[in-house]
Structure 1
Amino acid sequence: MKILHLDSSIQAEQSVTRRLSAAIVERLRKVSPQAVVTYRDLAADPLPELSPEQLRTPSTARESALDELLDADTIVIGAPMYNFTIPSQLKAWLDAVVIAGRTFRYSEAGVEGLLGDKRVIIASSRGGVYSPGGAMAAFDHQEAYLRNILGFVGVRDVEVIRAEGVRMGEDAAHRAITDAMASVGQLRSVA
């Protein structure tokens, strides 16, 4: 198994998603010891934003990001919620890898995603509570966006491990992180 591990938080060692994504990768390596991991820190080494020049002549960094994605069996994405959506660094990565003819294609039947055999595990953190059915659910442009864009490129196997309410007091943060870590411990292997 080949794992692509992406972190996008700008919070460094205070990041909940970095802790969760590292625990996810550790769990996957435990259940699949032969796994090979490629790590990309999108905050420390961001990809260039999409521009007309990038469309004409993709950068080596964008090509490398696409190659890593195409080569991976499982993608672990550390994705904190920033202003109800994803970090701009993660958006730049998505812009680099969502490419017609490579990760999706247009046909007479419409759009067809080309990454259907991939598994994605999202390590999500949110300061508040934005779960489906909750009072703030309409503000979730983070997980909903990730599920939609991943579905667009054909990924159907998407799991979310969420730490929610991490800025709602020390007890709430502790519970959220403890519950998320318990979910990490239940992850299955893909072999």
Structure 2
Amino acid sequence: MSKTLLHLDSSILGDHSVSRQVSAAIVARLTAADPSLAVVYRDLAADPLPHATPASMPADHPLSGGKGDAASQQALDEFLAADIVVVGAPMYNFSVPTQLRAWIDRILVPGKTFAYGAGGAVEGLAKGKRVIVALARGGSYADPSFAAVAEHAETYLRWVFGFIGIEPEFIIAEGIAAGRREAALEAALKDAAALKAA
């Protein structure tokens, strides 16, 4: 049975986006290695999910009262069905785009992707999925003290996916707005081409 790859982009910059170019290169690498991969694509900037309200949650979310929003339920179902998830994630104002955050609000669902056990311990229910993030940052975060206070994209995504049982992989292009765009993109594309197969 063929595996499913869910490809998400969230940059608002269209063809000028570094994260979109890198996420596309990741998908190209994985599908070249396994042509049987079924790819589902979602452009979160072109077709955004609304900000979270109880009525806009998936029907599977307790807040929805069992009603929920069809598009939100589809987003959750796509994630649950995927074996591999590739996320194009630019850093905007030190965090992830609101479009990506809205999608994350749809996949963090009690009883579906995480559960609280005895004593309040969290169990991630999405174990076994492979998540690869193409992260683009305008500045450089090599200084750990600066990164600790200013970097809220990679750290956030590591935590979010870890919360539901997944250890994400990252391919990072940084310094894009600081005169390193071409070098950063070239290095990230090289990393994408060297990615291990699915």
Judged with a 3 Å threshold, the aligned counterparts in structure 2 of structure 1 residues 129 and 137 are, in CA distance, closer, same or farther, namely farther
- Larger displacement relative to structure 2 (101-110 or 5-14): 101-110
Partner of 1:63: 73
Please give the alpha-carbon distance, in whole angstroms, between the structure 2 residues aligned to 1:35 and 1:128: 34
Distance 1:23 1:163 in 2: 13
User: Equivalent residue for 2:60?
Assistant: none
Provide runs of 4+ in structure 1 moved above 3 Å.
134-137
Alignment match, 1:164: 174
Q: Report what 1:47 is aligned to.
A: 49
Match of 1:107 in 2: 117
After TM superposition, the score normalised by the length of structure 1 is 0.94
Corresponding residue of 1:139: 150
- Cα distance in 2, alignment partners of residues 132 and 91 from structure 1: 26
- Whether the 8 Å CA contact 2:125–2:164 is kept in 1: the answer is yes
Q: What percentage of residue pairs aligned between the two structures are identical?
A: 47
Quote the offset at 1:30 in angstroms. 0.7
Distance 1:27 1:135, change over 3 A: same
- Give distance in 2, aligned partners of 1:26 and 1:132: 32
Q: TM-score, normalised by structure 2?
A: 0.91
1:14-57 superposed Cα distances (whole Å, 9 cap, x missing partner): 10001011111000001111111000000010112111323323
Gaps in structure 1 of 5+ consecutive residues: none
CA displacement at 1:132 relative to structure 2: 6.1
User: Any stretches of 5+ residues in structure 2 without a counterpart?
Assistant: 57-62
Q: CA deviation at 1:128?
A: 0.4
Distance, in Å, in 2 between the alignment partners of 1:155 and 1:17 is 21
Matches of 1:132 and 1:68 in 2, distance apart?
Answer: 37
Instruction: Quote the residue 1:186 is aligned against.
Output: 194
Separation in 1 of the partners of 2:147 and 2:159?
A: 19
The farther-off stretch of 51-60 and 120-129 is 51-60
Contact 2:54 2:68 in 1 (8 A): no
Q: CA RMSD in A?
A: 1.3
Partner of 1:86: 96
In the alignment of these two chains, the number of paired residues is 187
Question: How many angstroms apart in 1 are the aligned matches of 2:176 and 2:147?
Answer: 15
Give the drift of 1:154: 0.6
